[in-house]
Chain A
Amino acid sequence: MQEFVLNPPARLLSADPAEKAGVDSTEFEHRLRECGPLAFRMARAVLRNDADAEEVAQEALLRAYRKWEDLRDPARFRAWVVRISFRLALDRWRSVRRRERRETAWAAPGTQPAPRTAEQVAVSNEFQARLERALDELADKSRLVVILSAIHGYTLEEVAAILEIPVGTVKSKLFHARKRLAEKLR
C-alpha cells in the first residue's frame, strides 16, 4: 500500500498489475527468472514432489513480492527466497509425514504407501531412497547447506552469502553432513 501511495499517477494507470502494486515489473521479472528455479529446486529437494515443490516456490516468491520494498537488493532477495522456500518446504514435508504416520497407524501393519507416480518409480532406486532418508535425518541447517551446495553453479562462497554465514561454517557443516551421509550409506 505504501508503494502505491508513493507512485507517480502514471503508474496507477498502468495495465501491469505488478506496476499497479508499486513493483517495478522488469526488475521483479528479472528476480523471478533468477530465483524461481532456485526456490523450486530447494523445495523439490526437500519434498521430492514436483507439484508440492511448485506450490511452495510460488508461495515463497509471492511472499517475496509482498515484501518487495525490503528485498530490493538482489542478494537479499535471493537469500530470503531460498530460506523461505526451504522453511515452507520443511513445514509441508513435516505435515505430510505426520499425515502419513497417522494413515499408516490406521492401515494394516506392513502396508506401505505406494509411490505417487510411475515416473518416481522409474527414477528412484534403492540408493537414492537411502540417501533421501539419510538427508531427512540431517539437521535442518546442514540439510540446507548440502542441498544448496549440490545445486549446480553455487560455490561455497555463494552458499555462505545466501545463508549469511561465514564460508568456514559452510565448509564445516558440509564436512560433517557428508561424513554422516557416508556413514548411513556405507
Chain B
Amino acid sequence: MNCAEVQKEMLERLVAREGTISTESNVHRQCCAVCREYYEAQSDLFRSIDHTLGLIANSSVPPSLLPGIRARVGEQAAPRFVNFRGWALTVLVTSALAIIALMSFWNRPRPSLESPGLARQSAPQRSESTPTVAAVTRPPRKPAARLARPRVASAPSVVVEQPTQEVIVLSEEREAFARFASTVSENRAMALALTHPAQPEDESAKEIALLKIESVTVKPLELN
C-alpha cells in the first residue's frame, strides 16, 4: 500500500468513528513518518469536532424551561375549556332554532289545494253536505250543536285567514238547513237517502222477457 491509499483508509476509519485501522495500514503508519503525522493530525481534528459538537449539542437546559412549558400548557388548557363552552352553547342555540323552525314548518297554515276561485265556489257545498255526512255516519250526542259547527271548525285557521271566501247564506236558507239538521238524526233512512247515491240494482237478478203478442187483430184503415 502506498501513502495515499493508507491515508485514505485512515480518513475513512476516522470519519466512520472506527478506532482501528487495518494491520497493513498500521504497519505502514509505523514505518512512514508522513502517514503517522497525517493520522495524528486527522485524529486530533475529529476529536475536536466530536468534542465541540458535544458542547454544542449538550448545552445545559435552563431551569425555567419545564415550568415555562407547564405554564403555557395551563394557558392553553383554560381557553380550550372556554372554547368548549362556547362551542356547546352554539350547538345548543343552533339546535333550538332548528327545532323551532321545524315545529313552525309542521304547524304552518296549509293552503287549500283548490284555487281561490274554486274555493269560493265550493264553500257553500261544504257547508251543506259535510255536516250531513258527519251526522249520518257518526251520530252525535248533541246533533244540533255538532251540526252547528260543521267541519269548518276542524280547520279554523283556513276560514279565518281567508276572508275573501265570503259565503252569503240567506236567512231562510239558514233556517231551512237548521230544520233539516234537527230532523235528520230522527229520520235515519231519509238522511241516508239524501246523502248517499242510490244503490245500483243487481244486474244479474234482472231477466229480459221476450215480448209476447198473443193476438193480433188487423183492422182496415178508416178513410175519411
Contacts and interface: CB of A to CB of B under 8 A. Distances in A.
Interface stretch (A53-61, A71-79, A89-97, A101-109): A53-61
Contact of B45 (A41, A150, A182): A182
Interface stretch (B74-82, B98-106, B135-143, B157-165): B74-82
A80 interface: no
Given A53-B59, A128-B55, A182-B11, 8 more contacts: A20-B81, A21-B81, A28-B73, A40-B62, A44-B56, A131-B49, A135-B56, A175-B16
A186 B152 CA distance: 106
B203 to A, nearest CB: 74
A65 B56 contact: no
Given A150-B50, A179-B15, A40 B76 contact: no
30 contacts: A4-B80, A17-B74, A17-B76, A17-B77, A18-B73, A18-B77, A23-B77, A33-B66, A36-B61, A36-B66, A40-B59, A40-B61, A40-B62, A40-B65, A41-B58, A41-B59, A41-B61, A57-B65, A62-B73, A127-B48, A128-B55, A135-B56, A147-B53, A171-B16, A175-B15, A178-B49, A179-B11, A179-B15, A182-B15, A182-B49
Q: Which among B11, B53, B70 has the highest number of chain A CB atoms within 10 Å?
A: B53
Contacts of B45: 182, 185-186
B101 to A, nearest CB: 26
Contacts of B183: none
Contact of B65 (A21, A37, A127): A37
A147 to B, nearest CB: 5
Q: Which among A28, A66, A182 has the highest number of chain B CB atoms within 10 Å?
A: A182
B72 interface: yes
A163 interface: no
B56 A132 contact: yes
A24 interface: no
Contacts of B80: 1, 4, 20-21
Contacts of A186: 45
A32 interface: yes
Contact of A127 (B52, B54, B70, B87): B52
Interface of B: 11, 15-17, 42, 45-46, 48-50, 52-59, 61-62, 64-66, 68-70, 72-74, 76-78, 80-81, 83-84, 87
Nearest to A125: B52
B58 A185 contact: no
B76 A21 contact: yes
B56 A4 contact: no
Contacts of A148: 57
Nearest to A44: B59
A1 B56 contact: no
A81 to B, nearest CB: 11
B113 to A, nearest CB: 48
A116 interface: no
A181 interface: yes
A140 to B, nearest CB: 16
A57 B83 CA distance: 25
A147 B73 CA distance: 27
A48 interface: yes
Interface string A147-186: 1101110000000000000000001000100110110011
A77 B70 CA distance: 17
A88 interface: no
